[in-house]
Amino acid sequence: MREMEFDGIVIGGGPNGLTTAGYLAKAGLKVAVLERRYEIGGGLATENLLLPGMLVDSHAIYHMMVDYAPPIRDFEFETKYDLQWIYPDLQMVMPFQDGSALALYKDPEKTAQSIRQFSEKDAESFLNFAKISQEAMGLFLAPASYVNPMPSLEQVAKLETHPTTKWDDELTGYTPKQIVDAWFENDKVRTLFLYCATMWGLDYDLEGLGYLVPLMMNRAYHFRLSHMGSHHLAHLFGKFISENGSRVISGCEIKRIVVENNEAKGVELKDGRIIKANKFVCSALNPHQTFYDYVGKEYLPPEMVTRLDQWEYSSMSFFTVHTALTEKPHFKIFDKHPELEDALIYVVGYECEQDLVDHFEASKRGELHDGGFNCCFPSIHDPIRVHRRPDSFVKHIGLMTMECAPYNLKDGGGLGWNKMRRPYAERCKAILEKYAPNMNKNTIVWDYIGTPLDTENKFPDMKQGCFKQGAYLPLQMGYMRPNEFCCQHDTPIKKLYVGGSSTHSGGMITFGPGFNAAEKIAADLGVKKWWPEPRGVKEARDLGLF
């Protein structure tokens, strides 16, 4: 059996693994990225899941940290390669059945105009909230995604030294709902902002992570689409890695991480091949895969096993319905508000804040609720996503994404989705039709349904469909992510590192965990860093916030 040998191995070719590999490859190390699927990218997937010639972003579609994420700039994707972003001015619209609507624009002043129809006071509150959140983003929240975390008490003491970060830190003890309700009086305005605060899996009722609400709300009007689909970005990462002398190997079934004398030496594949790593192995998988499936409990300190046993996945995930459409949607609100056509996102199904709360609560009980979701029609913004012959009757693609779908159904657990996927998709379509009557069985000619169970089947690291490889809970964030033994991305096993979204700075397409892992590996190996400090990090350090 032929052996292969590299300086380093990265397990998992999602956005984080690709980031770690890219930085270290350009630093001169020979790196192999081992990916289980036939294609790299993990959540950066664009697939032909509808009819031929229709490009569907089957997982991540909204890119929210483009303005901060280091690899976008450091790998010169926009200048040397052909990465282009689509960044609509009108970011999100929440239509209501009474014909009114709230709109979120890139420009907070325009959003305030929209809010003014409902409440003058809330419009002013929004402008204040937007201003202070933007400051908190620039000073701390964004840069903190791209540095390794410090123990919570130490961090809190530092945040106390600046009025803006002190304000943000003081939100920690409140739930997203308490924060939204304290800032806004109008029920519809509260509905929109509670949706924005929770759309990435923060529980509306969870105390201890309130400091994330300004980040979530700020990011809700900074979404971009990647031209030609999210996978184009993964493709560029692959190019960057190979142009810098490293490799991506797909179709890899891993049997174990080879550990000798408490040191990671490489990886054994299921077919018996050994891939040696002379300097490091970095796993971008979830902590149970890395430490239980591939290392073995016997190599770990017992206290760490206790912490790993406590690791929790979210009980809710995304339920998606992708559609092939004969025409663009015509939402009822366009009759009165034509200026709301062609928003990036429409959020339907929530008429009041209580609707959102009821949806969360039903999902916690494992019930499939007729709740709300967001819709996007990517081909309106990026026509290349439907490249069919000109006389094709299929013109557009649509996407419905419900954030709070339970993994374990009351009837049938996770496998219950096999029975419920179709009826639930039809229920979602019926909700959309109430807001956009031309979205009906005549215009929706094909669909593809994605359940939390499907996500888990496709990406075993997203256990229970948990797209952050681990829930956002107070004891699973920052210095505790995934636990105090590996929060700096190194582990008790020499030369073994972790760098997936189960590590700091968490999930979504931020590239934070992958970047932080690369920084740590480079520092430990004494490799010369060719990249600059991420935006805002030096300023935060100078202010004493890190």
Look at the chain and count its residues: 546
Tell which one of 10, 487, 509, 545 touches ligand FAD (CB under 6 A): 509
Residue nearest to ligand FAD (CB): 14
| H or E element that contains 73 | helix 70-74
Give me the least distance between CB of 19 and ligand FAD, in Å please.
8
Segment interacting with ligand FAD (CB under 6 A) among 169-177, 328-336, 454-462, 489-497? 454-462
Q: Does 59 bind ligand FAD (CB under 6 A)?
A: yes
Region near ligand FAD per CB under 6 A, out of 55-63, 97-105, 322-330, 404-412? 55-63
- Contact residue for ligand FAD among 8, 42, 149, 416 (CB under 6 A): 42
CA–CA dist 169, 155 (Å, integer)? 10
- Secondary structure string (H, E, C) spanning 404-464: EEECCECCCEHHHHHHHHHHHHHHHHHHHHHHCCCCCCCCEEEEEEECHHHHHHHCCCCHH
Instruction: Kindly state whether residue 143 participates in binding ligand FAD, applying the rule CB under 6 A.
Output: no
Q: Which of 8, 12, 176, 536 binds ligand FAD (CB under 6 A)?
A: 12
Strand order through the sheet with 90-95? 101-105, 90-95, 345-348, 373-376, 396-406, 316-325, 444-450
Q: Is 460 in the site for ligand FAD (CB under 6 A)?
A: yes
Please, is 438 exposed, middle or buried when counting C-beta atoms within 10 Å of its C-beta (0-12, 13-18, 19+)? middle
How many residues sit in the footprint of ligand FAD (CB under 6 A)? Answer: 39
Q: Are 466 and 316 in contact (CB under 8 A)?
A: no
Give the sign of the dihedral formed by CA 105, CA 107, CA 113, CA 116.
positive
Which stretch in 349-357, 359-367, 404-412, 502-510 sits in contact with ligand FAD by CB under 6 A? 502-510
- Which residues between 216 and 275 bind ligand FAD (CB under 6 A)? 252, 254
Q: Assess contact for 35 and 12: CB atoms under 8 A.
A: yes
Q: Per rule CB under 6 A, is residue 32 in the interface with ligand FAD?
A: no
C-beta of 60: minimal distance to ligand FAD in Å? Answer: 4
Beta carbon of residue 39, minimum distance to ligand FAD (angstroms, whole number): 8
Instruction: Name the segment binding ligand FAD (CB under 6 A); options: 35-43, 156-164, 339-347, 526-534.
Output: 35-43
Residues 294-333: x/- map of binding to ligand FAD (CB under 6 A)? ------------------------x-x-------------
Q: Choose between 33 and 386: whose C-beta lies nearer to ligand FAD.
A: 33
CA distance 479 to 485: 9
Residues 532, 534, 539: CA angle, nearest 5 degrees: 105
Interacting residue with ligand FAD among 9, 10, 24, 35 (CB under 6 A): 35
Work out how close the CB of 45 gets to ligand FAD at its nearest, in angstroms, rounded to a whole number.
8
Q: Measured between alpha carbons, how far is 482 from 490 in angstroms, rounded to an integer? A: 11
Measured from the CB atom, the residue of 71 and 184 that comes closer to ligand FAD is 71
Tracing tokens 């490091």 back to the chain, one arrives at 280
Tokens for 71?
A: 């690899």
Q: State the DSSP string of 207-224.
A: SS-GGGHHHHHHHTT--B
Which one among 6, 7, 8, 16 touches ligand FAD, defined by CB under 6 A? 16
Interface positions with ligand FAD (CB under 6 A): 11-17, 34-37, 42-43, 59-62, 64, 252, 254, 284-285, 289, 318, 320, 450, 455, 459-462, 467-469, 500-501, 507-509
